[in-house]
Structure 1
Amino acid sequence: MIIERGTWTHRALVVATGVAVALVLLWMSGLAPFRVNQLTNVFIYAIAITGLNLATGYTGLLSIGHSAFFGLGAYTTGVLVMRYGWDPLYTIGPALVLCFVVGFVIGLPALRIRGLYLALVTLAVGVAFPELVRRFEELTGGARGLVIRRRLLNPPEWTGLRPGQRDLWMFWLSIVVLLLVLLLVHNLVRSRAGLAMIATRDNEIAAAASGIRVAAVKTSVFGLSGAVTGLAGCLFAMYLAALSPDGSFTLLKSIEFITGLVIGGAATRIGPIVGAFAVVYIPYLTANLNPSNVSQGQLSGVLFGLALILIIFLMPDGLVGGISRLAGRIVRIRPADPGKPPDAPPPQVLEPAGASAARGETT
């Protein structure tokens, strides 16, 4: 079945999908607070993985240090709220700017090196971030961590939510931010800048020969990638209200982001969401499957490894890419013909005189 964009069938399919997503989100918001907090964590991880997807999936810049951007955004929010009395929502702007600048600077080595060498540079950044947090103890709390008072993270009055409904406030805030980020990525990838990113990823020499400013693409995308992941860090600080350099901002967090990107599907729109569900729920679901002599971390690591091996062999482009390929055999959406109005009937082909007689047909 082939569906053309712009037709009533395509519009009805889009509307039905939107309504289904809205109903699912409303149902999720009515779950127990523990489940709502789990889903909030999923959405925050999805935003962080989307930032990594911009650099690694769409532009081919392998990064192992995105935990540093995640932590930088989180600590920017924590420090501004606790040390300077800022409103949590107002800290998002400075965090975005700071993470973009740091990402832009870290992206400068990508002008000379790439592949594993670039990964080593980002690895050094990820290793250095927890040490920098410990170094500036008066500002960040050092190894003791930074705790944000709960009353400073209560829902704003304009939301109509009570102070005790902070979990619901963070749930809807993370959803809104995630939708805005996905819309940004969707429009970016479909633009000329997105085509330049993909061309740089596929063949850097050919992209430069075609007139693409590869240096500008790499540095700007790395900055934007850091800003999006830092935005997730801001929400994480509001969600967790307790920051520690040894807890959530080590290289293990970067590995979780990369794992989620591979499982969900690199260079796909909703792959980060699928990967975030896997990263959050696999450790939780395996907690009750542990034999008495196997720790939770060991079993989760084994399952993560098995999942990655299976996906690499069966679905090299991730779960979303594999499912899309299978669904494309049933329903395929193609671009609209610019010379034909929507829902116009297919053109009739007139046969030349005597064609039916040549086929042996009688009138």
Structure 2
Amino acid sequence: MRTPIVLARGSWPHRAALLVLAGLVILALLWASGLAQFRVSQLTSVFIYAIAISGLNLATGYTGLLSIGHSAFFGLGAYTTGILVMRYNLDPLSTILPAVLLCFVVGFVIGLPALRIRGLYLALVTLAVGVAFPELVRRFESLTGGARGLVIRRRLLNPPPWSGFGPGERAEWLFWLSAVTLGAVLLLVHLLVRSRAGLAMVATRDNEIAAAASGVRVAAVKTTVFGLSGAVTGLAGCLFAMYLAALSPDGSFTLLKSIEFITGLVIGGAATRLGPLVGAFAVVYIPYLTANLNPANVSQGQLSGVLFGVVLILIIFLMPDGIVGGLSRLSGRLLQVHTPTPLVQEENHEASTVSDSRDLTARGVQ
């Protein structure tokens, strides 16, 4: 058997492979939705984290804008949903659009310094945003609940009637809502990266001067991508508020959350489509799996931190592009998908035909 196997993008074998893969994913989700409620909740948190890391991936992975403050977008989306549900009695799903728009605007504004600074200096700006967010939550206590936190009543988070889930099936409803949202986000990221805008993002990341010389509007790319990145991470925050139903500035929206996002991005693979999902599994399950390995004199947090460090070091040495990046290189030896260029071939054929006809005409004249 000859390797690698080459498939033309858009061909029937390629489409059949995608249909088979989609069927396997749906079967896996159906099987997972029937697990114990604790397992279903774990997978829901994985999907939510994967959405948040996908937002970070747009800015850091594809555009090269290093951000250490994405916990602020995560918290802004969560608190927007919590406030609109508790203070204004809105349906949880109806809060997603205003929360995403707000996070986009805030991300756009925070992205403005990227027009002048880059690298570690931009990271320090985002670090300041991440540090400031919990303090702002505490300051506006009448709206956010301050240090006491904001608790969303469970009955306000019941599944909508059209979903087919009953009041006692909130875990299953959030599982499917998060899974579908993650699928939509991954698809949109895939389409964006393959578009002209995606090429502009990668060009900006690799060489800003060359990108600007090629006609890329670097300023627009940076600010817009930072806004989109904040919007996607804010979307994850909305789902997190529905999932946790209890928000605290000291619990889930500190710099530690930003570090978890960055760690998940590095483990899964920056600038890869499925890297955020693999990284989310690592961020959620490594602390859980290490809980039963603790010696008597070592806390869970200490052991989890050590294992995170070991995993990061191993991946940096063995898979510098992350798990998905490393597996992509290995799978490329067995299977390759290329994009055919029929228009170019037809143009070459037409040009060759015209050239031949001119030669024949010239010979006839002679």
TM-score surpassing 0.5?
Answer: yes
| Residue number in structure 1 paired with 2:293 | 289
Contiguous gaps of at least 5 residues in structure 2: 346-366
The residue number in structure 2 matching 1:170 is 174
Alignment correspondent of 1:109:
113
1: distance between equivalents of 2:133 and 2:327?
Answer: 37
Query: Is 1:227–2:248 an aligned residue pair?
Result: no
Q: Runs of at least 4 residues of structure 1 off by over 4 A?
A: none
- % same residue: 81
SS in 1 for 2:65: coil
2:204 alignment partner, one of 200, 204, 209: 200
Paired residue type of 2:204: T
Describe how 1:36-47 pairs up with structure 2 within 5 A.
36-47=40-51
Between 1:38-47 and 1:323-332, the stretch displaced more is 323-332
CA distance in 1, matches of 2:202, 2:10: 26
Q: Which amino acid aligns with 1:335?
A: T
Cα deviations across residues 156-193 of structure 1 (Å, max 9, x unaligned)?
00112110000000000001111111111111111111
How far the C-alpha of 1:281 sits from its partner, in A, is 0.2
* CA distance in structure 2 between the aligned counterparts of 1:95 and 1:267, rounded to whole angstroms: 26
Aligned match of 2:256: 252
2:358 is the alignment partner of 1:327: no
| Distance in 2 of aligned mates of 1:92 and 1:11 | 33
2:274 aligned with 1:270: yes
TM-score, structure 1 normalization: 0.93
Q: Where does the alignment leave 5 or more consecutive residues of structure 1 unmatched?
A: 342-363
Match of 1:53 among 53, 57, 60: 57
**Aligned partner of 1:314: which letter?**
L
Shift of 1:235: 0.2
Distance in 1 (alpha carbons) for counterparts of 2:88 and 2:343: 59
The whole-number CA distance in structure 2 between the counterparts of 1:130 and 1:41 is: 21
Task: Say which of 66, 74, 78 aligns to 2:78.
Answer: 74
Q: Deviations over 1:231-268 (max 9, x none)?
A: 00000000000000000000000000000000000000
Give the drift of 1:7: 2.3
What residue in structure 2 maps to residue 14 of structure 1? 18
Shift of residue 340 of structure 1? 10
Cα deviation code 1:110-168 (max 9, x no counterpart): 00000000000000000000000000000000000000000000000011211000000
Spell out, residue by residue over 1:71-113, the C-alpha distance to the aligned partner (whole angstroms, 9 max, x if none).
0000000000001101000000110111001000000000000
What is the distance in 2 between the residues matched to 1:45 and 1:332?
30
The TM-score with structure 2 as length reference comes to 0.92
Deviation at 1:5, TM superposition (A): 1.7
SS in 2 for 1:45: helix
More helix per residue: 1 or 2?
Answer: 2
Aligned residue pairs total: 341
Q: What corresponds to 2:241 in structure 1?
A: 237
Partner of 2:186: 182
Secondary structure of the 2:32 match is helix
Pairwise CA distance, 1:8? 2.2
Q: Which amino acid aligns with 1:293?
A: N
Distance (whole Å) between structure 2 residues aligned to residue 39 and residue 69 of structure 1: 22
